[in-house]
């Protein structure tokens, strides 16, 4: 039996290809499913079924893409209430392919329609049973119960249902059962997800707090108390997955725009999304452009979190980069890309890019210099530049009272771990009236690498 995990690092998301006897099942594919389809073709497998473990909110699923390419049957859990044409799988249902089979475990809680899939290998295969746990059980954590797909029930009610699913359906499985979740470390669908690709039920009994908490209300308190607000694009993506997104082949790729056309699009409300490097952005960018580079590992997450509603113009180095940005924006349901450009306006905005050692020397000359750290509070607490102010990057950054006493005309350095998030924060700070911003391109990574002094919380 073939069991293959396909990992998408920018989304911290795994899809699975399972095959036997010339037949295959694909589980939780991305919208751009070419890599999965190529894997099935290399193995000589006919994809008979494509299954979603639930209505995903963090990426647009490629169920329809796989079905259109292969003729596979689309399937979801029985509680799926969307309009996407599919077979609905009740609790305990089994799907056979070759000599292997998938058994459906209904596990509501993360969403109403969540299921886990137990992969049972053919007799005599020697492979372990594997649980594709979707967003129900992670390694070290469980799925969040507060997303739009659970509409109609409170987060606490969904958390109670999640506790029942984890302890009633998953915990009784044998210790040797392998656990293969959909999201991994870095996903906004969980809080403390471990970095490993897989584990076992036995190990998770020891390492996962959720499996070790028998009291449902204590479980709910801990789970709900650790939640952060979901990125705003989650609701849009969940709605697309409920109805079924259009196929990529049905969407027209963005065309190249002239400088005048970009200016008109901006005037009409479009956002220029600059996907070039921080250095290129600093040397010159469209006024008001949001800088989220394709070179960073979190492009989809930050583009989804920071882009306002409305049209998008991609500013790229070339046509190839613009096309890649378009495909990655489609993963998060951002379909209104009105065009792309590789040109600057006659009077571009600029932001000096400095290194951590330059910032250190400036602080020696003027200890009162303004420095803004846009990492998470937990990162900031583990070590930061002495005297800096912490305000986390996000759509609410401009409302943070921590910025109220900043002199917006004074030079202000912005840093994060490695220059990526700090560059993305510049647009909001410029809109707030900061006129002398600098981006620390190597961030705290460069600060620590040069053994510069670090302050810690407490």
Provide CB contacts within 8 A for 165, sequence distance 6+.
106, 107, 108, 109, 114, 136
Looking at 341, 369, 387, the residue that finishes a domain is 341
* 81 part of a folded domain: yes
Domain holding 372: CATH number? 3.40.250.10
pLDDT of residue 151: 64
pLDDT above 70 for 152: yes
Mean pLDDT throughout 298-309? 92
Domain holding 200: CATH number? 3.60.15.10
Domain identity same for 132 and 223: yes
Q: What is the pTM of this model?
A: 0.92
Average pLDDT across the chain, whole number: 94
Q: With cut-offs at 50, 70 and 90, classify the pLDDT of residue 156.
A: very high
Looking at 226, 243, 260, the residue that finishes a domain is 243
Domain identity same for 385 and 270: no
Domain identity same for 189 and 288: no
Is 128 buried (19+), middle (13-18) or exposed (0-12) by CB count in 10 A?
Answer: middle
* 53 part of a folded domain: yes
Domain identity same for 379 and 423: yes
Give the pairing type, strands 412-415 and 290-291.
unpaired
* 333 part of a folded domain: yes
Domain identity same for 15 and 111: yes
Domain identity same for 301 and 165: no
Q: What is the pLDDT of residues 26-75, one digit of tens each?
A: 999 999 999 999 999 999 999 999 999 999 999 999 999 999 999 999 99
Mean pLDDT throughout 72-87? 96
Mean pLDDT throughout 235-243? 93
* 455 part of a folded domain: no
* 133 part of a folded domain: yes
Looking at 243, 271, 302, the residue that finishes a domain is 243
d(C-alpha 201, C-alpha 139), whole Å: 10
Q: With cut-offs at 50, 70 and 90, classify the pLDDT of residue 148.
A: low
Query: Domain containing 101: what range?
Result: 2-243
pLDDT of residue 407: 92
Range of weakest confidence among 186-195, 230-239, 344-353: 186-195
pLDDT above 90 for 217: yes
Structurally, the chain folds into a number of domains equal to 3
**Phi and psi angles of residue 236, each rounded to the nearest 5 degrees, phi first:** -65, -45
Domain identity same for 87 and 224: yes
pLDDT of residue 319: 97
Domain identity same for 40 and 140: yes
pLDDT above 90 for 285: yes
pLDDT of residue 448: 96
* 383 part of a folded domain: yes
């Amino acid at each position: 039996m073939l069991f293959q995990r396909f990992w998408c690092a920018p989304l911290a998301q795994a899809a699975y290809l399972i095959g036997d006897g010339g037949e295959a099942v694909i589980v939780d594919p991305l919208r751009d499913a070419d890599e999965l389809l190529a894997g099935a073709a290399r193995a000589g497998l006919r994809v008979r079924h494509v299954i979603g473990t639930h209505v995903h909110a963090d990426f647009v699923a490629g169920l329809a893409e796989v079905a259109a390419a292969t003729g596979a049957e689309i399937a979801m859990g029985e509680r799926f209430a969307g309009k996407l044409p599919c077979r609905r799988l009740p609790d305990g249902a089994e799907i056979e392919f070759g000599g292997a089979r998938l058994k459906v475990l209904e596990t509501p809680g993360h969403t109403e329609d969540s299921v886990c899939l137990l992969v049972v290998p053919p007799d005599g295969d020697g492979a372990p049973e594997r649980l594709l746990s979707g967003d129900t059980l992670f390694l070290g954590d469980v799925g969040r119960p507060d997303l739009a797909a659970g509409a109609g029930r409170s987060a606490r009610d969904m958390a109670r249902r999640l506790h029942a699913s984890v302890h009633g359906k998953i915990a009784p499985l044998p210790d040797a059962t392998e656990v293969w979740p959909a999201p991994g470390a870095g996903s906004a669908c969980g809080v403390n997800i471990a970095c490993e690709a897989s584990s076992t039920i036995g190990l998770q009994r020891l390492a996962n707090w959720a499996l070790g908490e028998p009291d449902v209300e204590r479980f709910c308190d801990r789970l709900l108390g650790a939640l952060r607000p979901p990125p705003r694009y989650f609701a849009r993506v969940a709605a697309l997955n409920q109805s079924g997104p259009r196929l990529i082949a049905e969407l027209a790729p963005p065309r190249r725009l002239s400088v005048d056309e970009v200016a008109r699009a901006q005037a009409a409300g479009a956002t220029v999304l600059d996907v070039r490097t921080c250095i290129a952005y600093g040397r010159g960018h469209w006024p008001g452009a949001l800088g989220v580079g394709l070179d960073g590992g979190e492009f989809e997450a930050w583009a989804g979190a920071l882009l306002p509603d409305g049209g998008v113009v991609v500013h790229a180095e070339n046509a190839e980069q613009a096309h890649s940005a378009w495909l990655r924006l489609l993963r998060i349901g951002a379909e209104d890309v009105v065009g792309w450009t590789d040109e600057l306006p006659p009077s571009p905005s600029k932001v000096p890019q400095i290194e951590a050692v330059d910032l250190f020397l400036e602080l020696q000359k003027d200890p009162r210099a303004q420095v803004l750290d846009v990492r998470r509070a937990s990162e900031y607490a583990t070590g930061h530049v002495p005297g800096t102010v912490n305000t986390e990057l996000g759509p609410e950054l401009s409302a943070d009272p921590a910025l109220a006493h900043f002199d917006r005309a004074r030079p202000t350095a912005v840093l994060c771990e490695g220059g990526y998030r700090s560059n993305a924060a510049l647009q909001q700070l410029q809109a707030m009236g900061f006129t002398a911003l600098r981006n620390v391109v190597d961030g705290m990574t460069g600060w620590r690498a040069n053994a510069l002094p670090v302050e810690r919380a407490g």
